[in-house]
Amino acid sequence: MESTPTPEPRRTVDVASLKALAHPLRVRILDIISQLGPQTSGTLAEILGESTGSTSYHLRQLAKHDFLREVEGRGSARERWWDRPRGSLQIVTRELADNPATSEAAQLVSREFEHRRAAALADFMDHGWLQESPEWSEAATVSTTNIRLTAAQLAEVSERLEAFAMDLVNEIRNRGELAGARPVQIHLNAFPLAAGRTTGAATQPEEKP
């Protein structure tokens, strides 16, 4: 008998954590680790063109608010590896966006994630279709569907699409990573991220790594 996959944990970010995340470099760091997996302050400094002192400081701040965790048994006292805890983040809620104390932070975080997500899709549209191998470009999809719905129907579509997507992603993830795997980003679009680059986001106001 097949076992039922354990549901992904889901965390809704609180006020203090949202304010801690509301820094463009921290959004980028969280995004890169979501895309590429564990990183050190040194590898992030190289990717971002920042000093290791800067990336180390922001890594510690992200870890303080449980956006990241140190990878146990890897690295040394001088070179610590950091990764995302498993699960999804609801980073911006209507309550936080409407709260005068957090609205500015919510806007910054939403804007940064959306900018990076749009950049990833634009990069694939500009280059990926032609520059990726047929194996990858033909496996990708960028699709748009137009339909008139009520708010209740839209909620139904959103919930069912999200549930289906997460069931499928968790099923594939639980099989283990195969040789040849690379970072892939899924919205209602699904496309490979540019090799060696981090142009867009693995995250958005609702992020599912």
Q: Are 84 and 30 in contact (CB under 8 A)?
A: yes
Structure confidence by residue, pLDDT tens digits, 92-120: 788 888 888 889 998 999 899 889 888 88
Tokens of 111: 């804007």
DSSP state of 126: I
Structure confidence by residue, pLDDT tens digits, 45-99: 999 999 999 999 999 999 999 999 999 888 677 789 999 998 888 887 888 888 8
pTM, entire model: 0.73
Q: Are 27 and 113 in contact (CB under 8 A)?
A: yes
In this prediction, residue 207 has a pLDDT band, given cuts at 50, 70 and 90, of very low
